[in-house]
Structure 1
Amino acid sequence: MRAVRVDEFGGPEVLVTREVPDPRPGPGQVLVEVTGANVMYLDTLIRSGRGTDHFPVAPPYVPGGGVSGRVVEAGPETDQAWLGAEVVGETGPPDGDGEASVPVNGYAERAVLRQESLVRVPEGVGAHEALALMTDGATALLLERAARFTPDSWVLVLAATGGAGSLTVQLARLAGARVIGAARGPEKLALARELGAEEVVDYSEPDWLERVGKITGGGADVVVDGAGGALGTAAFAATADGGRFVSYGTPSGEFAEVDDAEAGRRGITALGLFDLEPADGTGKRDLTRLVLEEARAGRIRPHVGLTLPLERAAEAHGALEGRRVLGKALLVP
């Protein structure tokens, strides 16, 4: 079968499509004929060698942590009812909690998945739509819980047209909040409005924080930061006293920095990515089911902005790193 492999860390050019042996499912696993592979910004960090402190991946490896497809084989001790099912699921090996520990083995024509990671694609939801929601949709639901959107409150969403950001805009609007979508360039701002943002700001403009202040009358009740770095750090100042600042993004390579003393003085609840774990024990699989049901009911929709064949994986990574993707990027075998 064909798979994209990284033989050494480096730029997008190290992503090379090769013929590799077909994987075989072991106990409790299934083999999936892949219809789509999720491409995340995290994949680019690991490929460059910058993510190995948190994700122990070493070349050679096949990147990608999630796929959609049809189950074509079930291994020993696996529920045979999965055969023929259209599913989404994570491809990486499990950690101590049973979740995928590293995003590997997804950019391929066939992939082995643990049956514990499988989620059936509901009728009325397309395979690529389900795949686009699998990881970013779960993240958006966690952001919604942490942000506590309320009717008529002002919500500023940074990276408003990214995979999770575009869904967060929709969830905030469903809650009755007034959304400001922050992104870069007219195309992304237009998409943010299409997704439900009442106002938009271009954070490449020097006066973007002043604009947020004028729109909100002093500051946003909630700031959801998907940009991180200097942009996210600057956005903290746009949070109203007594508001909530939820930061999860690292496209710049680092998280936003929050002055805890300043947050305490202003009564701001500041939360980071690792504060988003659900307190009720809900896992990724449960969150994926929930967000797919929201899509089936027509309440939210992902925006798939880039779909490329496996052979053009380097182009997909380059587009993500160049901030040229609106919504999700997927690879199609």
Structure 2
Amino acid sequence: MRAAVVTRFGGPDVIETRAVPDPEPAAGQVLVEVAIADVIFVETAIRRGAYGEFFDVRTPYVPGSNLGGQVRAVGPGVDADWIGKTVVGRGVAFGAHAELALTATDLVEVPPELDLPTAVAVYGDGFTALMLEELAPPMAGQDVLITASAGGMGLLLIQLAHQAGARVVAAARGDEKLELSRAQGADVLLDYSRPGWEKSVLEATNGRGAGIVFEGAGGELGAAAFSVVTDGGWFSAHGAPSGGFAAYDPAEAERRGITVKGIMDLRADSTTTAVTGADVMTRAAAGDLRPVIDQVYDLDHVADAHRALENRTLRGKALIGLRR
């Protein structure tokens, strides 16, 4: 089969398309003929060799986590009824950016209301967005600040907050991304490429600050977002595209009564929430989660997808298409 392979840690150029052996499903595994795969920012950091404390990855490896396609075979102990079904799931030890990939049995059959690209686009980000929705306080009547608002997950969070009755303050870089945020339900638009943007959060909330912050930008932008959480508020530091998660002083958070959630609270294998992949598909089929797909790259251009993520040129999601 053909696969994108990260040959060594480094820049996007280390990704090559190669012929590799077809995987064989072991006990408890499913072999999927991949049609569409997701690509998210954290994969670019892993490719550079970052986050070794979270991901045990050694080169060469096939990148990509979330995928969709048709089940071709199952391993011992797996119900053969899966064969032929169109599903979404997560690759085993990554591996999604290939014509064939292994998944565990926690995959989900795609409901008839969703096309496969939509199902894949919503699966990973939707999982995290619903975890955040469950972890956060009730959003009705709250001022909710969402940074990196025009990314795949930021747009879903805008939708959820808007549906919940929040006043949504969206922060992103540039007019085009902010208008996309408005289209998803944002009430206040702030360009965080402008110095002192966080002061506009206070102005927009009559000096109160935001009661809930979904912080997806990281770095200094994340630290600025933390500075405008209201006392007794809630803050999620889940994004790190700026090079690291939002820096904050735990002592200040405790003194001000701010609840902080980090990336370890959002692991798919976590027991902190009860969200399942089936929940994501159900909410997407109901129209609660509507992913915005910007670009679909083919297998020979996975490196270009990584560049687009790193250069912040995407408006929503990037996907990898495997069908010729």
TM-score (norm 2): 0.94
What is residue 54 of structure 1 aligned with on the other side? 54
More off after superposition, 28-37 vs 8-17: 28-37
**Aligned partners of 2:273, 2:313: CA distance in 1, in Å?**
36
What is residue 31 of structure 1 aligned with on the other side? 31
* 8 Å contact from structure 2 (residues 294, 318) kept in 1: yes
Shift of 1:174: 1.1
Deviations 1:94-147 (A, max 9, x none): xxxxxxxxxx211101112222x2111111111111111211111101111222
Q: Find the partner of 1:203 among 188, 192, 196.
A: 192
Q: Find the partner of 1:156 among 141, 145, 162.
A: 145
* 8 Å contact from structure 1 (residues 146, 246) kept in 2: no
**Aligned partners of 1:281, 1:147: CA distance in 2, in Å?**
11
**Aligned partners of 1:329, 1:190: CA distance in 2, in Å?**
19
What is residue 201 of structure 2 aligned with on the other side? 212
Deviations 1:42-89 (A, max 9, x none): 211111112323212111111111210011222332201101111011
* 8 Å contact from structure 2 (residues 32, 103) kept in 1: yes
Deviations 1:249-305 (A, max 9, x none): 1112211111122222322222222234665662xxx52211211111122201111
RMSD of the alignment, in Å? Answer: 1.5
* 8 Å contact from structure 1 (residues 141, 287) kept in 2: no
**Aligned partners of 2:321, 2:36: CA distance in 1, in Å?**
5
* 8 Å contact from structure 2 (residues 122, 289) kept in 1: no
SS at match of 2:289: coil
**Aligned partners of 2:265, 2:216: CA distance in 1, in Å?**
15
What is residue 73 of structure 1 aligned with on the other side? 73
SS at match of 1:134: helix
* 8 Å contact from structure 1 (residues 154, 179) kept in 2: yes
What is residue 97 of structure 1 aligned with on the other side? none
TM-score (norm 1): 0.92
1:91 and 2:91 are equivalent in the alignment? yes
What is residue 255 of structure 2 aligned with on the other side? 265
Taking the TM superposition and a 5 Å limit, the aligned residue runs for 1:253-292 are 253-276=243-266, 282=274, 286-292=275-281
Shift of 1:209: 1.2
Deviations 1:153-210 (A, max 9, x none): 1100001111221111111111100101110011110110011101110000113112
Which runs of 5 or more residues in structure 2 are unaligned? Answer: none
Which runs of 5 or more residues in structure 1 are unaligned? Answer: 94-103
SS at match of 2:307: helix
What is residue 171 of structure 2 aligned with on the other side? 182
What is residue 296 of structure 1 aligned with on the other side? 285
* 8 Å contact from structure 2 (residues 26, 75) kept in 1: yes
What is residue 215 of structure 2 aligned with on the other side? 225
What is residue 239 of structure 1 aligned with on the other side? 229
In the alignment, residue 107 of structure 2 is paired with which amino acid?
A: L
1:108 and 2:60 are equivalent in the alignment? no
